[in-house]
């Protein structure tokens, strides 16, 4: 079936089986591979995107449910002039990623948390940041969220 929605502000119309998860439409039909496949059962969060502003695990949402909605992926976080989102910059400043595979999802979750709470507390970070990172970057993820919301200095200084 034909399904229309917007991705990162642009209207798209895709031909897909109704039950195809949004994740695979993004990755294979729209070539937006920044959104990752991790588990397929909404357990790890690597596929996190925003749908009408709501944090959504795209591996477990059929694309037919997305018709007429607005999807934002990691590729859509930059501003129109190409400047990084404050959370992306905080991730670089804190040198968060190791293998990096889960970080698109982590960043999408952090942006949603900050949009909802303004300045999230440690408890709110604990409750909201449920994405899995196997490299164990959790302390730097927390530090980056605190820095992005002005609650701590980005304390990593290094030679570029």
Partner 1 sequence: MADNPNPNIDETDAIPAQVPAKKKGVKRRIFLAGSALLVGGGVFGLYWSDSNAGKHARALTETGAGERNFLTWMKIAPDDTVTVYSPHIDFGQGTHTALGQMLADELDADWSKVRVEQAPADMAFANTPLVKSFLGEMSGYPGVISALPAALMGMLARSQKIQITGGSSAVRFTGQGGMRVVGAAVRAALIEEAADRLGVPAGELTTADSAVTHAASGRSLRYGELAAGAAGRSLASDPVLKSRAEWKLINKPVIRRDIPAKVDGSAIYGIDLSLPDMRVATIAAAPVRGGKLEAVDEAPALAVPGVEKVVKLDDAVIVVAKGYWQALKGLNALSPKFTDGGNGAMSTPSIYAAQDKLREAGKPDNTAGDGDVDAAFKAAGDKVISADYRVPFLHHAMMEPFALTAHFKDGKLTLWGGLQDPLGARDRAAKAAGIDMDDVIFNPMIMGGGFGRRFPPMTEIIDQAALLAKQVPYPVKLVWSREEEVRHGTYRPQSSARLKATLENGRIAAWQNDYVQGDNAEGEVGFIYEVPATARRHFAYKSNQNDGPWRSVNSTQHGFYNESFVDELAYAAGEDPFAFRRKHLPEGSRHRKVLETVAERAGWGSPLPEGVGRGIAIVESFGTIVAEVVEATVKEDGSPKVLKAFAVVDCGTTVNPLNAEAQIAGGIIMGLSSAIGEAITLDNGAVVESNFSDYNVLKLADAPPVIDVHFIESDAAMGGIGEPGLPPASPALANALLAATGKRIRTLPLLQQAKA
Query: Looking only at residues 93 through 112 of this chain, which bind partner 1 when binding is defined by CB under 8 A?
Result: 95-104, 107
| Distance separating alpha carbons of residues 147 and 20, to the nearest angstrom | 38
DSSP state of 137: -
* Minimum gap (Å) between residue 97 Cβ and partner 1: 4
Of 124, 133, 45, give the one whose Cα is nearest residue 145. Answer: 124
What are the CA-CA distances from residue 24 to residues 58, 65, 143, 145 (Å)? 8, 14, 32, 29
**Of 38, 48, 56, 71, which one interacts with partner 1 (CB under 8 A)?**
38
User: CA-based angle 21:25:29, to the nearest 5?
Assistant: 160
**Of 5, 7, 21, 71, which one interacts with partner 1 (CB under 8 A)?**
21
Number of residues forming the site for partner 1 (CB under 8 A): 64
**Options 50-58, 71-79, 112-120: segment touching partner 1 (CB under 8 A):** 71-79
Positions in the binding site for partner 1 (CB under 8 A): 17, 20-21, 24, 27-29, 31-41, 43-44, 46, 73-75, 77-78, 84, 88, 91-92, 95-104, 107, 122, 125-127, 129-142, 156-160
């Amino acid at each position: 079936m034909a399904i229309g929605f917007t991705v990162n502000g642009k209207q798209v119309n895709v031909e897909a089986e109704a039950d195809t998860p949004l994740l695979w439409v993004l990755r294979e039909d729209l070539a937006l591979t920044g959104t990752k496949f991790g588990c397929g059962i909404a357990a790890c969060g690597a596929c996190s995107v925003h749908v009408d502003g709501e944090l959504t695990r795209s591996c477990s949402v059929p694309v037919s449910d997305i018709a007429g909605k607005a999807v934002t992926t990691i590729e859509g976080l930059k501003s129109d002039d190409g400047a990084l989102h404050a959370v992306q910059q905080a991730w670089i400043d804190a040198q968060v990623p190791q293998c990096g595979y889960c970080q698109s999802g982590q960043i999408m979750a952090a942006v949603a948390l900050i949009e909802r709470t303004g300045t999230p507390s440690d408890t709110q970070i604990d409750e909201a940041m449920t994405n899995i990172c196997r490299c164990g970057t959790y302390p730097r993820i927390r530090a980056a969220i605190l820095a992005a919301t002005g609650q701590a200095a980005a304390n990593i200084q290094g030679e570029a």
